[in-house]
Amino acid sequence: MLELQDHGPVRELRLASPPVNALNMALVQRLNHEIVAAAQQGVRALVLSGQPGLFSAGLDVREVTSSPPEALRRFIDEFFRLQERLARSTLPVVAAITGHCPAGGTVLALYCDHRIMARGAFRIGLNEVQIGLYPGYTIFRAFERLVGKSRTAALLPRGAMLDPEGALGAGLVDELTDPANVVPRALELAGELVALPPRAYARTRALVRSDLVRMFDEPEEDVSAVFGADWITGEAREHLGAILSRSRG
């Protein structure tokens, strides 16, 4: 589900939930736990990685569509808590985007400090609208923070996905490298951050991420209300059902 590997002061959290690293309740809870534990255990930086060719396909479609309303609400609250944990993390987090990264995979990357993506026939972006889902205000603002207002207006309402070069040009990722080098490069960058004067780095990092943290200090939406029973609408179930049918085929 989640593999941990320490590289000196840097800890790699590797998503390992086959076949597509879907974010279900168990994995989201584990990520929440490990982000907190890393800081308590003296880790200095985190790398969040996936499998070759795939970072994460996003929220677990089977779990989302089969959960009763209260269970779905708990899951969405836990996923929002994970976003907040990443945003507030005292440890820098480098996303090693090892391949495809739609929807919830992109959401995780938005809250990291740096994003390194594999070159190749991969896609990244917030495609929620294409499957009948609403991304929400906080995710919208985190996306806008990276790509700017005009690109957000062009991309988000149609759920557009970008190839690695397009993502780099838009500012959604910071760097591209060969697929085999994504994790090593992320670990290298994390090591560079750890080597900086710690007090000056921490204060400067907090400064540049203060807008991200404020999104959780002053949320514009009640997550439980917005993403409650009405989040999975009829049109969403139709599109999600089609995804499940294709995966079974």
Q: Which whole number is the average pLDDT over 131-146?
A: 93
DSSP states of 197-246 as a string? -HHHHHHHHHHHTHHHHHHHHS-SS-HHHHTSTTSS-HHHHHHHHHHHHH
Report whether pLDDT(249) > 70. no
pLDDT at 245: 61
- The H or E element containing residue 96 is strand 93-97
Grouping H, G, I as helix, E, B as strand and the rest as coil, residue 196 is: coil
Grouping H, G, I as helix, E, B as strand and the rest as coil, residue 74 is: helix
Assigned fold of 2-195: 2-enoyl-CoA Hydratase; Chain A, domain 1 (3.90.226)
pLDDT at 65: 79
Q: Indicate whether this model's pTM tops 0.75.
A: yes
Average pLDDT, the chain: 92
